[in-house]
């Protein structure tokens, strides 16, 4: 989809419920879209045309199922990590791996670190995305606290290499400023379409839900499957 992407800044962290909430339609400062790239590449104008159709949707399960779930999550969100390491495992075993539902994961970008993590997760393509994402969430408490940006990137590189991506490929992914800007534009587009204000959030058959216990999610899914 061809669109005009307004470059806006404005990040905020809300304490309510421990969720991260952003204060504007964009979560990433345009000057920080890819600080790993050269200064010239980091320059942005007020608006930029971005073709978001190049971003691959990351999907699992049965695309033909009557029940479709979209998860919106940030790799730097502790509650998203908790969901990934707990309820998601149950959801995957009970509903995704058994082809009862379709599942789509969409990244939310509150900060440049989450964006970098996404670029590493996507570096291995569809086949490795969910496995790398799991490693990123599993190690979240370590890599997000690594210190300076260079140290954080170094930890993300380690995760990528652990997943079997070679150093040159990882570097190319992290230096891809066009991909970074496109991901941010894609996220902004999704945020506006689904009115996402906190993470994790879920769209279940078109209805938005905020974070919930797995038992509650299971009830919603089972009711939808029974319809």
> Tens of pLDDT along 25-66?
333 433 343 444 332 233 333 335 789 999 999 999 999 999
What domains lie within the chain, and their CATH numbers?
2-226 (3.40.30.10)
Provide φ and ψ at 20, rounded to 5°. Answer: -90, 130
Name the pairing type of β-strands 201-204 and 207-210. antiparallel
pLDDT over 70 percentage in the chain: 79
> Tens of pLDDT along 102-153?
999 999 998 999 999 999 999 999 999 999 999 999 999 999 999 999 999 9
> Tens of pLDDT along 201-219?
999 999 999 999 999 999 9
Measured between alpha carbons, how far is 204 from 126 in angstroms, rounded to an integer?
A: 22
Whether this model's pTM surpasses 0.85? no
- Give residue 48's pLDDT: 54
């Amino acid at each position: 989809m061809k669109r005009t992407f307004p470059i806006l800044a404005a990040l905020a962290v809300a304490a309510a419920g421990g969720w991260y909430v952003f204060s504007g339609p964009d979560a990433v400062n345009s000057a920080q879209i890819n600080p790993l790239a050269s200064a010239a590449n980091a320059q942005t104008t007020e608006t930029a045309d971005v073709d978001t159709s190049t971003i691959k949707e990351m999907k699992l399960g049965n695309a033909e199922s009557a029940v479709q779930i979209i998860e919106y999550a940030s790799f730097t969100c502790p509650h998203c990590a908790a969901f990934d390491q707990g309820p998601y495992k149950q959801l995957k075993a009970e509903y995704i791996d058994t082809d009862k539902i379709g599942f789509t994961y969409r990244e939310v970008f509150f900060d440049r670190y989450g964006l970098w993590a996404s670029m590493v997760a996507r570096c291995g393509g569809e086949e490795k995305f969910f496995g790398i994402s799991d490693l990123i969430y599993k190690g979240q408490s370590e890599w997000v606290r690594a210190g300076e940006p260079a140290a954080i990137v170094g930890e993300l590189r380690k995760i990528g290499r652990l997943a079997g991506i070679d150093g040159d490929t990882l570097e190319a992914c992290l230096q891809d400023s066009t991909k970074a800007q496109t991901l941010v534009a894609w996220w902004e587009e999704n945020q506006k379409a689904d009115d996402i204000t906190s993470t994790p959030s879920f769209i279940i058959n078109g209805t938005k839900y905020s974070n919930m216990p797995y038992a509650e999610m299971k009830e919603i899914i089972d009711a939808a499957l029974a319809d």
